[in-house]
Structure 1
Amino acid sequence: MNVGVGVVHRPACATALPLRRGRGRVQCSSSSSGHVSFIKDVAATQPPEHLHCLLKMLQTRGETVISPGARQGLIPLAIPLSQKNSGAVTALLRWPTAPPRMEMPVVEVRKHGVWLLAKNVDQYIHRLLVEEDANNSHETNGELFHASSEAGKKLYRMGDFADSQIANIDVYLLKKVGLFPDVLERKIMRHFEEGDDVSALVTGEFYTKKDLFPGFGRPFVFNAEVLLNVGRNSEAKDAARVALKSPWWTLGCKYEEVACIAQWEDEQIEYIKEKVTEEGRNEDLKKGKAPAQVALDEAAFLLDLASVEGTWAGSLERIAECYKEAGLNEIARFILYND
Structure 2
Amino acid sequence: MKVGGGVVNGLPCARVLPTLFLRRGRPTIRCSYTSSFSDHISFIKDVAATQPPEHLQYLLKMLQTRGETIISPGAKQGLIPLAIPLSESQSGAVTALLRWPTAPSGMEMPVVEVRKHGVWLLAKNVDQYIHRILVEEDANNTQESNDKLFTASSEAGNKLYRRGDLAESQVASLDVYLLKKVGLFPDVLERKVMEHFEKGDHVSALVTGEFYTKKEHFPGFGRPFVFNAEILLKVGRNLEAKDAARGALKSPWWTLGCKYEEVAEIAQWEDEQIEYIKEKVTEEGKQEDLKKGKAPAQVSLDEAAFLLDLASVEGTWAEYTERIAECYKDAGLHDIARFVLYRG
Corresponding position of 2:231: 226
- Deviation sequence 1:119-163 (CA, Å, 0-9, x none): 000000000000000012556451000000100000000011111
Q: Is the 8 A contact 1:56 1:148 kept in 2?
A: yes
- In 2, the alpha carbon distance for the partners of 1:196 and 1:185 equals 14
* Aligned mate of 2:213, from 200, 208, 215: 208
How far apart are 1:28 and its partner, in Å?
Answer: 4.7
1:49 and 2:54 matched: yes
Distance 1:141 1:294 in 2: 50
Matched with 2:277 is 272
- The alignment status of 1:170 with 2:154, answered yes or no, reads no
Residue in 1 aligned with 2:312?
307
Aligned length: 315
8 Å CA contact retained: 1:26, 1:42: no
Q: Separation in 2 of the partners of 1:323 and 1:70?
A: 21
Give aligned-pair identity as a percent. Answer: 83
**What is residue 89 of structure 1 aligned with on the other side?**
94
Deviation at 1:167, TM superposition (A): 3.3
User: Contact conserved, 2:10 with 2:74, CA < 8 A, in 1?
Assistant: no
Work out which structure has the larger RCO, using CA pairs closer than 8 Å and 6 or more positions apart in sequence.
Answer: 1
Write out per-residue CA displacement over residues 68-87 of structure 1, whole angstroms, 9 at most, x where no aligned residue: 00000000000000000111
What SS class does the counterpart of residue 290 from structure 2 fall into?
A: helix
Greater fraction of residues in strand: 2
Q: Is the 8 A contact 1:81 1:90 kept in 2?
A: yes
Q: For 1:162-220, what per-residue CA distance to the aligned partner results, in whole angstroms no more than 9, with x for missing partners?
A: 11112310000000000000000000000000000000000000000111000000000
Q: Which residue of 1 aligns with 2:122?
A: 117
* Residue number in structure 1 paired with 2:18: none
TM-score (norm 1): 0.91
Decide which of 230, 234, 240 is 1:235's aligned counterpart: 240
Structure 1 counterpart SS, 2:197: helix
**In structure 2, what is the Cα distance between the partners aligned to 1:268 and 1:159?**
51
Check the 8 A contact 1:78/1:93 in 2, yes or no: yes
What letter corresponds to residue 123 of structure 1 in structure 2?
A: Q
How far apart are residue 60 of structure 1 and its match? Answer: 0.2
Secondary structure of the corresponding residue to residue 142 of structure 1 = helix
Q: Which residue identity is paired with 1:242?
A: G
CA distance in 2, matches of 1:265, 1:151: 48
| Backbone CA RMSD of aligned residues | 1.2
Instruction: Give 2:301's aligned residue.
Output: 296
Equivalent residue, structure 2, for 1:15: none
Give 3-state SS (helix, strand or coil) of 2:11's partner: coil
d(CA) in 2 for partners of 1:43 and 1:194? 46
| 1:106 aligned residue | 111
Residues 100 and 109, structure 2, Cα contact 8 Å, conserved in 1:
yes
Flag structure 1 segments of 5+ consecutive residues without an equivalent: 1-24
Match of 1:72 among 73, 77, 93: 77
Moved over 2 A (4+): 25-31, 136-141
Q: Distance in 2 between matches of 1:26 and 1:152?
A: 32
Matched, 1:281 2:265: no
Secondary structure of the 1:80 match is strand
Letter in 2 for 1:52: Q
Task: Tell me the amino acid that sits aligned with residue 289 of structure 1.
Answer: K
Query: Gaps (5+ residues) in structure 2?
Result: 1-8, 14-32
- 1:27 Cα deviation from its structure 2 partner: 3.1
Q: Secondary structure at the match of 2:84?
A: strand
- Contact 2:249–2:263 at 8 Å: present in 1 too? yes
Residue 160 of structure 1 is matched in structure 2 by 165
